[in-house]
Chain A
């Protein structure tokens, strides 16, 4: 089963929010709402040994996807062709159950920005789709000569990352863009992390070298 996700190199991320802008532009997301956002992980340690980094957060494409399991209508589902976790806006009743099921969201949706947001106008929940409308058949290795090449498309947040920190692809496919970056990081001995949370196995991977900063898991 495909494991499509993002791999984000935090050694490279500058917190410029290009990914946020690209996402909002591609998906037509208005003011105050987001599919993704970038958190500054506050300086830690004592002077002069202080470190910090930027943490881009979006749907973590959990392997066990509690939002899918909790959805009472089946609106939260996995794409049968590529296994990406999506929301069917036609079926979604806007009950917000998925907010309580997702460990990366506030149960009431009051905390903003969040990895999912409630579209008041449509009455549906929304979240990152990995731009599945563009990337459904892509191998995640971008064709820089033709960015509209569906076989090699990447989400706009990846394409527009000004620091080249983001990559996309199927982690079960060693030839995908994300797998290659992850393999290189592993070979170089750099830290590979996930935002751990109770009851889920997030597919999204973060690369952070120990000499840049200490990884702080969720809730630390």
Chain B
């Protein structure tokens, strides 16, 4: 059975990108005022990366359709409620949520305000480099943009859940392919997409906070230096969330594996999806929870990527349920 690679790539990129956006939203909701300058940088980078990944996934779909110029027909038919229409809606919602989160992070996250404070005459006159300016402008940002960030964060989380679920639901809802008729598919797709996004977020967080701590932006470095315990708490919360998602991935993958006629692909599925993708991610998340380090996040990302990719490929490599009577 030929694998539909453009579809697989769409589900991986758009799902993972949405997961990254969701975790950026979660971090924005959980963040403390003192960590705003550097966290805004992380969330800005996460939103940009997420948008690139989701858009790249959408571009892959153009490789699947034979007449890309006709793709707007999907928009005109969006009210049909077909599974693909809903998936397209999720794609559009995720892009919109990403842009909103990006803008809100810039306006209300404090980082922009900190930059403005540090660079302006007012900021310099007010205090030492940009730190005081960041604090002052951060407070102003909290009043003016803090709520916007929170709302954008909730939207980002909702979009991530919607996108991740729909990438699997569009398979489950296809009546003609009986091997896809299980809710384990959308659950597994959702959990594995969030896993990808979560580990990617941890990597970005470690990379950007690390740079801030060793002396990049003065305001961000000062804020990062002041908030190690809160940073660690945030990482731990994300790591615990990832451990829970890894457990959910294992359960959903096992349910799907028992439901679908895996045939010759069974060994590869069981080894690569629940064991490597699920248990591997679970171990990495627990290690990151116990002792946060980018290396654990990288390990988790690789494991989650392997599991997510093989899970999606399995839909075509396993027996799809077509009757032998209809085979050529």
Could you tell me which A residues sit within 8 Å of B by CB distance?
Answer: 39, 41, 55, 57, 66-67, 69-75, 91-97, 99-108, 110-115, 118, 120, 123-124, 197-200, 216, 218-220
Interface presence of B294 (CB below 8 A): no
Chain A: minimal CB distance from B166 (Å): 12
Interface presence of B23 (CB below 8 A): no
> Given A66-B174, A71-B77, A124-B66, list of 6 further CB < 8 A pairs?
A66-B175, A95-B65, A107-B1, A107-B316, A200-B176, A219-B325
Query: Of the candidates B2, B73, B176, B320, which one forms a contact with A66 in the assembled complex, judged by CB atoms under 8 Å apart?
Result: B176
**Known A69-B82, A91-B70, A93-B70; contact A106-B320, beta-carbon cutoff 8 A:** yes
Query: Of the candidates A39, A67, A71, A216, which one forms a contact with B80 in the assembled complex, judged by CB atoms under 8 Å apart?
Result: A71
Interface presence of B263 (CB below 8 A): no
Chain A: minimal CB distance from B287 (Å): 39
**Known A72-B82, A106-B322, A107-B316; contact A93-B73, beta-carbon cutoff 8 A:** yes
**A216 to B325, alpha carbons, bound, how many Å?**
9
Determine the residue in chain B with the shortest Cβ distance to A73: B73
Interface residues of B in 282-328 (CB under 8 A from A): 316, 320, 322-328
Query: Which of B14-22, B83-91, B230-238, B269-277 touches A?
Result: B83-91
Query: Of the candidates A41, A97, A198, which one forms a contact with B84 in the assembled complex, judged by CB atoms under 8 Å apart?
Result: A97
**A220 to B326, alpha carbons, bound, how many Å?**
11
Q: Is the interface of A mostly helix, strand, loop or mixed?
A: loop
Interface residues as binary, B49-74 with A (CB distance below 8 Å gives 1, 0 otherwise) = 00000000000000011111011011
**Known A103-B175, A103-B178, A113-B328; contact A73-B83, beta-carbon cutoff 8 A:** no
Q: Could you name 27 residue pairs across A and B whose Cβ atoms are closer than 8 Å? A: A39-B325, A39-B326, A66-B174, A70-B83, A70-B173, A70-B174, A71-B80, A72-B73, A72-B77, A72-B84, A73-B74, A73-B76, A74-B76, A93-B70, A97-B82, A100-B176, A104-B326, A106-B322, A106-B326, A107-B174, A197-B323, A198-B175, A198-B181, A200-B176, A216-B325, A218-B326, A219-B324
Q: Are B177 and A124 in contact (CB under 8 A)?
A: no
Q: Are B176 and A92 in contact (CB under 8 A)?
A: no
Chain B: minimal CB distance from A169 (Å): 26
Q: Are A94 and B83 in contact (CB under 8 A)?
A: no
**A107 to B180, alpha carbons, bound, how many Å?**
11
Query: Of the candidates A92, A114, A198, which one forms a contact with B326 in the assembled complex, judged by CB atoms under 8 Å apart?
Result: A114
Chain A: minimal CB distance from B168 (Å): 13
Q: Are B77 and A41 in contact (CB under 8 A)?
A: no
What A residues does B2 contact at CB under 8 A? Answer: 108, 110
